[in-house]
């Protein structure tokens, strides 16, 4: 076997360990859990470091843990960069093109951001508060290991125009509410509603139904207008959440229907052989559904397929 073939095999194995389905390999599952725990412990360490006494007492321990974490995250980043050419997303691209495209994907930029503070601090003087703020963004790396995050991102992309429209309407109403309250309350409370900029705080707090109560209208007309603004805010703020929830359910159903189409195609000859089952497993992973979804869909479709059962599992 040539060295090139060996490199390709090693790259494919590493890709399956860090990017493949954890349901197929206990090693991949262990690696996933290792990184999840490491990310969580990193965030806990960042929080503890913000206490000056704890930071001074365990300065060396924190520095050592940060060094180890950066080494691990850097190795992970380089391995993902090396193995990204195995992804179906970059099929047909040259290795160089695939890696350049991968570098600028959101998930790769998050990985780079996770290790950047360490190297920035080596060459530039930066306030520790801002350094910790950047480091805590390592939480975003969890999107690698919880595939449901990707479904949520897909839903947001598909509903982006609708959500943007709802946010714009909310912004318009906030500005109108601030202008109204300035007009009605500025004479009674000049220290609170002295200008529209100050009134915006009340409008945002009221429209978002937070209701801190630090700023309230005192005039009768102001209270009447505020009542209507609060009622509008209750429905308006809930609108994007309802849109996302509905779209999330639709997205899951759409992915399961896509899986069902391929299951029906595999059942066309009455059986699902090992190659077909493997392809269905790969599709399930690509659609970010669970193996339980695959099994339950197969079971349901087999019942409607003239009573023919899969010879692979013998059921």
Task: Report percent pLDDT > 90 for the chain.
Answer: 19
Rounded to whole angstroms, the Cα distance separating 307 from 315 reads 11
Residue 79 pLDDT > 90: yes
Contact present, 285 and 292 (Cβ < 8 Å): no
Closest-CA residue to 136 (of 212, 3, 52, 41) = 41
Over residues 52-75, the pLDDT tens digits come to 899 889 999 998 998 999 999 999
Q: Select, from the ranges 40-49, 138-147, 209-218, the one with the highest average predicted confidence (pLDDT).
A: 40-49
For tokens 């005039």, the residue is 219
* pLDDT average, residue stretch 186-206: 89
CATH of 3-144, one of 2.10.109.10, 3.30.450.40, 1.20.120.350, 3.40.50.12160: 1.20.120.350
This prediction's pTM? 0.69
Under DSSP, the state recorded for 21 is -
Angle at 34 between CA 292 and CA 108, to 5 degrees: 85
Angle at 64 between CA 63 and CA 65, to 5 degrees: 95
Instruction: Output the CATH code of domain 160-247.
Output: 1.10.287.70
**Weakest mean pLDDT among 147-161, 179-193, 248-262:** 147-161
Which pLDDT belongs to residue 245? 81
What sections of 85-159 are H helices per DSSP? 95-103, 106-123, 128-135, 148-158
**Weakest mean pLDDT among 25-39, 148-162, 248-262:** 148-162
């Amino acid at each position: 076997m040539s060295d090139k073939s060996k490199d390709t095999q090693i790259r494919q194995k590493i890709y399956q360990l860090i990017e493949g389905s954890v349901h197929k390999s206990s090693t991949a599952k262990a690696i996933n859990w290792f990184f999840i725990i490491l990310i969580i412990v990193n965030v806990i360490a960042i929080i503890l470091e913000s206490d000056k006494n704890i930071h001074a007492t365990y300065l060396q321990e924190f520095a050592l843990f940060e060094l180890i974490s950066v080494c691990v995250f850097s190795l992970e980043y380089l391995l993902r960069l090396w193995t990204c050419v195995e992804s179906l997303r970059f099929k047909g691209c040259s290795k160089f093109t695939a890696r350049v495209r991968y570098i600028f994907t959101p998930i790769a930029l998050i990985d780079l951001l996770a290790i950047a503070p360490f190297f920035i601090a080596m060459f530039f003087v930066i306030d520790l508060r801002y350094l910790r703020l950047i480091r805590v963004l390592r939480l975003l790396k969890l999107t690698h290991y919880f595939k449901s995050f990707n479904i949520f991102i897909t839903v947001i992309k598909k509903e982006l125009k609708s959500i943007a429209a709802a946010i714009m309407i909310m912004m318009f109403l906030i500005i109108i509410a601030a202008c109204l309250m300035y007009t009605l309350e500025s004479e009674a409370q000049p220290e609170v509603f002295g200008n529209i900029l100050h009134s915006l705080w009340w409008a945002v707090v009221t429209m978002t139904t937070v209701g801190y109560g630090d700023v309230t209208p005192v005039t009768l007309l102001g209270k009447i207008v505020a009542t209507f603004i609060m009622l509008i805010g209750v429905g308006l703020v809930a609108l994007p959440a309802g849109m996302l929830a509905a779209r999330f359910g639709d997205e899951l159903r759409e992915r399961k229907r896509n899986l069902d189409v391929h299951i029906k195609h595999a059942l066309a000859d009455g059986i699902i052989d090992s190659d077909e089952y493997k392809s269905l497993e790969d599709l399930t992973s690509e659609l970010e559904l669970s193996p339980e979804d695959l099994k339950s869909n197969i079971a349901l479709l087999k019942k409607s397929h003239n009573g023919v059962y899969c010879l692979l599992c013998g059921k």
